[in-house]
Chain A
């Protein structure tokens, strides 16, 4: 126990002596947490629309003003040439083209039927789908209005309709920051923790100080614990600051108990730091350690479900997420912060991470050899 205390003293001193490390631990996460969530707005709005109007009738004008009044669309160009509209799309200035053919009004009134043509930039398939759906709903509404004008209500038997109402639970205002901030916090915590831990032992190897430790009677697990605990404490500190920022800057107050968040984070940090230490025992210089830990982090983070949902991934990628601690923490964080889940709800995730932590740390202790 006394050995451990001295080791801890040494590690803490080493960390606090180097101002650039401290800056990395605190400043980068705080700045990114303050800036990046503002960028994460997925909502599809302000779709840029080029309208080709060959009819120039009162109907086409009504239709256009109805579309622009909806708030989803921004009229980029009003023209009579389809080529011009297509050029807009090629230059990335328009997302959607609506063509109103000549005789639109006449056909609608006289022939009871008229056509419209819509072309969508579908490179981003999801955006195209939703943009097209918005415009179709507006067109249907407009169609309904035209019918109402020409047919007296009583004579017109009401159409058969299925009314769809929808409710958005846990985030009724569809605020993307509620969704992103907990996830970004997890990622920053992970990057700082794993990278620093990965660099730590390997640095002692590079400088040569590891020899000095190897000749002392310090036990292997003492050494690993001595490396682990300081970063664990710092990690929890970063989490606390992060949650404070979430509260002050974004007004996010966890629905669930803080106790659950910190309980899970404590176990999670053990797992992530253990992973970093494991990398550290395998590699021989800082550059390699950094490359490998960054490579793993990138996979863990991008496949962690923060940006794209895990269910949509191919099966083999979903299997990777089963051993991805980041995915578990992001999931738990969102459950606790947004839905108020308790310990009972997150128990499976908790046990998985605990197992992960035990395996990784055990491996790191085993792999650290006092002989070179």
Chain B
């Protein structure tokens, strides 16, 4: 035990001595949470649209005003002919063109029927789809307003309630994802270079001739970083609640426990990278460049996992951030307890133990 403690102490000295790196490790998550927490949103708002109004009558003018008044759209341009549509799209700023035909209001009043055409720039299918739906909803509302007063028979009224997030804030789904991403990258990277650095510097030899067993060396390396991670978890949680205004509806103790479990998994993963590579450069490349895109894309916070093809859905199960993201969403926003997240918790625990054992196995007690 004493032996083990002195090893932990040695690792602490390593970290505390390199002030610059420690500062980066503690400061980076804070900056990232603030920037990405605010800037990343899957909402679409203030999209620039253009209007091609061939009618210019009462109905089209008030519809145009309604579009302008919504927070989703900003009318950037009024076009004069159909040929302009192609030109504005090619310039790239305009996402949607609303086209009113001639005699719009007359048709509406006399034929009870008029047409609006929405042309979307679908090079971004998500934005195109969302904007088309928003514009449709605004036009439908307008239609409802002018048909009011005529009570129709056999009407089904639908009451709709948005659970957990009644104001439809984008941050409720993005912030947990950003938390998972930042913790995953920072924690993995922290331990990824510890062992390989000793290999590069040559101090590994000294450790190998000591009677300490590989498991102890590995755990001793993880503990100081775990403490750094707990500092990071606290700053991330504080920022999420007080700066980004995402509530913690569930139990704080459970959330902290799950976060520590997740960071342990990431630290173990970093140790595995560290014991299998032989240069700092490679270790960093794998833990940062190699992990970055898969973490973002397969953890489910940017793209829904249920839409992915089967092999990728399987692959996403191996990404620890996916499970943590789902836990954070459940505990922070839905406010549910361990009863609803026990499966995810068990999986993360299993992953952590597996990675720890694997990195001990891969840890070579002989120099090449």
A106 at the interface (CB under 8 A from B): no
Contact indicator A40/B44 (Cβ below 8 Å): no
Q: Taking A41-B303, A160-B146, A295-B28 as contacts, is the C-beta distance between A118 and B161 under 8 angstroms?
A: yes
CA distance A160 to B214 in the complex (A): 78
Contact indicator A286/B159 (Cβ below 8 Å): no
Q: Taking A35-B312, A334-B123 as contacts, is the C-beta distance between A40 and B303 under 8 angstroms?
A: yes
What B residues does A199 contact at CB under 8 A? 281
Contact indicator A168/B125 (Cβ below 8 Å): yes
Contact indicator B159/A309 (Cβ below 8 Å): no
CA distance A146 to B156 in the complex (A): 10
What B residues does A241 contact at CB under 8 A? none
Which chain B residue shows the least CB distance to A176? Answer: B125
B367 at the interface (CB under 8 A from A): no
**A305-330 with Cβ < 8 A to chain B:** 307-309, 311-314, 317, 320
Contact indicator A175/B160 (Cβ below 8 Å): no
What A residues does B284 contact at CB under 8 A? 286-287, 290, 294
CA distance A109 to B156 in the complex (A): 11
B38 at the interface (CB under 8 A from A): yes
A359 at the interface (CB under 8 A from B): no
B155 at the interface (CB under 8 A from A): yes
CA distance A345 to B304 in the complex (A): 34
A269 at the interface (CB under 8 A from B): no
B143 to chain A, nearest CB (A): 5
Main secondary structure, interface of B, reads helix
* Best-buried of A143, A158, A311 by chain B (most CB within 10 Å): A311
Interface segment, B4-12, B128-136, B215-223, B351-359?
A: B128-136
Contact indicator B42/A169 (Cβ below 8 Å): no
Q: Taking A90-B336, A339-B90, A345-B90 as contacts, is the C-beta distance between A120 and B120 under 8 angstroms?
A: no
**Interface code B88-105, partner A: CB below 8 Å = 1, 0 otherwise?**
011110010000000000
A213 at the interface (CB under 8 A from B): no
Contact indicator B193/A287 (Cβ below 8 Å): yes
Contact indicator B163/A160 (Cβ below 8 Å): no
Contact indicator A121/B125 (Cβ below 8 Å): no
**Interface code A43-81, partner B: CB below 8 Å = 1, 0 otherwise?**
111100000000000000000000000000000000000
Which chain A residue shows the least CB distance to B87? Answer: A345
A133 at the interface (CB under 8 A from B): yes
Q: Taking A39-B303, A121-B163, A312-B45 as contacts, is the C-beta distance between A288 and B120 under 8 angstroms?
A: no
CA distance A150 to B31 in the complex (A): 63
Q: Taking A161-B112, A174-B122, A286-B281 as contacts, is the C-beta distance between A317 and B161 under 8 angstroms?
A: no
Interface size on B, residues (CB 8 A): 110
B108 at the interface (CB under 8 A from A): yes
B202 at the interface (CB under 8 A from A): no
Which chain B residue shows the least CB distance to A116? Answer: B158
A112 at the interface (CB under 8 A from B): yes
Contact indicator B172/A125 (Cβ below 8 Å): yes
A298 at the interface (CB under 8 A from B): yes
B54 at the interface (CB under 8 A from A): no
Contact indicator A90/B340 (Cβ below 8 Å): yes
What B residues does A139 contact at CB under 8 A? 156, 158
What A residues does B132 contact at CB under 8 A? 166, 168
What B residues does A184 contact at CB under 8 A? 293
A204 at the interface (CB under 8 A from B): no
B231 at the interface (CB under 8 A from A): no
CA distance A20 to B143 in the complex (A): 64
Contact indicator A308/B173 (Cβ below 8 Å): no
Which chain A residue shows the least CB distance to B48? Answer: A311
Interface segment, B204-212, B235-243, B327-335?
A: B327-335
Contact indicator A150/B154 (Cβ below 8 Å): yes
Contact of B125 among A42, A124, A130 (CB under 8 A): A42
CA distance A347 to B95 in the complex (A): 20
Contact indicator B297/A36 (Cβ below 8 Å): yes
B80 at the interface (CB under 8 A from A): no
Contact indicator B157/A113 (Cβ below 8 Å): yes
Contact indicator A171/B166 (Cβ below 8 Å): no
What B residues does A3 contact at CB under 8 A? none
A338 to chain B, nearest CB (A): 4
Contact indicator B292/A298 (Cβ below 8 Å): yes
What A residues does B172 contact at CB under 8 A? 122-125
Contact indicator B152/A114 (Cβ below 8 Å): no
A172 at the interface (CB under 8 A from B): yes
**B147-184 with Cβ < 8 A to chain A:** 147, 152-166, 168-170, 172-173
B32 at the interface (CB under 8 A from A): yes
Which chain A residue shows the least CB distance to B193? Answer: A287
Contact indicator B157/A308 (Cβ below 8 Å): no
Which chain B residue shows the least CB distance to A140? Answer: B156
What A residues does B32 contact at CB under 8 A? 295, 298
What A residues does B326 contact at CB under 8 A? 92
A280 to chain B, nearest CB (A): 13
Q: List 10 tightest A-B contacts by C-beta distance, closest first.
A: A125-B168, A168-B122, A317-B39, A122-B162, A171-B122, A122-B165, A166-B118, A338-B123, A41-B307, A42-B126
Residues of A within 8 A of B (CB): 20, 24, 28, 32, 35-36, 38-46, 89-92, 108-109, 112-130, 132-133, 136, 139, 142-143, 146-147, 150-151, 157-172, 174-176, 178-179, 184, 187, 191-192, 195, 199, 203, 286-288, 290-292, 294-295, 298-299, 301-303, 307-309, 311-314, 317, 320, 331, 334-335, 338-341, 345
Offer 30 A-B interface pairs, CB within 8 angstroms, sorted by A. Answer: A36-B293, A42-B126, A90-B334, A113-B154, A113-B156, A118-B160, A122-B162, A122-B163, A124-B172, A125-B172, A127-B304, A143-B156, A150-B153, A161-B143, A165-B115, A170-B121, A174-B128, A179-B126, A291-B21, A295-B24, A302-B36, A302-B40, A303-B35, A309-B44, A312-B46, A313-B38, A335-B123, A338-B123, A339-B92, A339-B121
